Chain A
Amino acid sequence: MKYLGNYQDWIQTSWIDDILSIQGFGAPKEFNIDKEIALGQRSTMHESERKVYKVYGTDKIFFYLLESKCLDFDIQPPWLNERFDWWVTKMYPGQFIPVHRDGPKHLKGKRYWMPLQDWQPGHIFMYENISITKYIAGDLWEYEDPLAIHGAINIGHSPRLILQVSTTGETV
């Protein structure tokens, strides 16, 4: 992971309130992955996804995902001048994302990771064999390899909120 700087001043307190007050989509259960694949509404799983879901199943909620369509705000990352997608992962204590590699659609762009809170014990993000700790809200990291294996878990005592941004490789 490449550290790019801190953007704490850019984060609005109201975003945190909004994220904590809205549940979001329970992933993977509420994505109805198997049904969408069967209906042709979703492309088939790539290898990493398939391996993960074979072990963990698709019928439970492991974490919550929040996108602009379910939040009252939108973002314009100050470090970007490219088209991008963004989402927030919210993990209550005990929630997690198994280690996985992102799909091929992330190959063309860049992946960014920004905690919205200061680090707390038990808030764990693993990128290959590296764990990011002692960060402060607004610290920005870029995945050096968009296909790196990564995962996260919250074994702490408070919700864990991370902003994720992915560029498409197209300039605005």
Chain B
Amino acid sequence: MKYVGNFINIVEPKWIEELLSKDGMFRPRDGKQPDSSEMEEEYSIARKAGYDDQGTYFQMFDKTNVSFEVIPPCGNPSNFHWWITKMMPGDFMPMHKDPHTMYQLNCKRYWMPLQDWQQGHIFAYEDEVIVNYRAGDVYEYENSQALHGAANIGLTPRLVLQFTTHD
């Protein structure tokens, strides 16, 4: 992961309050079904390992279920999409590769925590775990197809903004 800089100035405190005060979309239970062979392969790998694609492992927010809009602070500002993951203690996202990044031209994938790092808040990128970060730090995936996953084995909710830009 390549550290890009700190962009806490784009984060409004009321975002955090809103994200903590309501449920997001439950994933993978209420997510879309695989719509590509790559996505089906990711689901298949997870099912074989014992993960339940009808379970709830984390919550997701995007522009359809929050009152605010996010403009990514880096990457291509005219072609992007964003989402926020909320993990309550015990939530996780198994290791996987993002299928959507395969189709997008010059795809850049970014990761931005909305809180300072806390013990038990885990983001794994290949063989690396990102720690000691500050709210608003932005990291870019050096390889948008890298294996990654996340978990919260701490005592407080974990909020991370994810965004992807492309040509």
Contact = CB atoms under 8 A, between A and B. Distances in A.
A162 interface: no
A5 B149 CA distance: 29
A26 interface: no
A122 B50 contact: no
A129 B132 contact: yes
A165 interface: no
Contacts of A156: 49, 94-95
A157 B48 CA distance: 8
9 contacts: A51-B155, A52-B155, A96-B90, A98-B154, A121-B127, A122-B95, A131-B131, A133-B128, A155-B92
Interface of B: 45-46, 48-51, 57, 89-90, 92-95, 117, 119-120, 122, 124, 126-129, 131-132, 147, 149-151, 153-155
Given A98-B153, A155-B149, A129 B131 contact: yes
Interface of A: 51-52, 55-56, 62, 92-94, 96-99, 119, 121-122, 124, 126, 128-131, 133-134, 149, 151-153, 155-158
B59 to A, nearest CB: 16
Contact of B120 (A119, A151, A158): A151
Given A97-B153, A121-B147, A153-B92, A126 B128 contact: no
A93 B50 contact: yes
Nearest to A92: B50
Contacts of A119: 127
Contacts, number: 96
Contacts of A151: 119-120, 153-154
Contacts of B45: 157
Nearest to B48: A157
A134 B129 CA distance: 12
- What are the 8 A-B residue pairs with the smallest beta carbon separation, nearest first? A131-B129, A157-B49, A122-B95, A99-B120, A93-B49, A133-B127, A129-B131, A155-B149
A163 B166 CA distance: 45
Contacts of A131: 122, 124, 128-129, 131
Given A98-B120, A121-B147, A122-B124, A155 B94 contact: yes
A155 B95 contact: yes
Contacts of A129: 117, 119, 131-132
A98 B120 CA distance: 7
A56 B90 contact: yes
Nearest to A128: B119
Residue from B51, B119, B147 whose CB has the most chain A CB atoms within 10 Å: B119
A122 B94 contact: yes
B94 to A, nearest CB: 5
Given A93-B49, A96-B92, A157-B48, A133 B153 contact: no
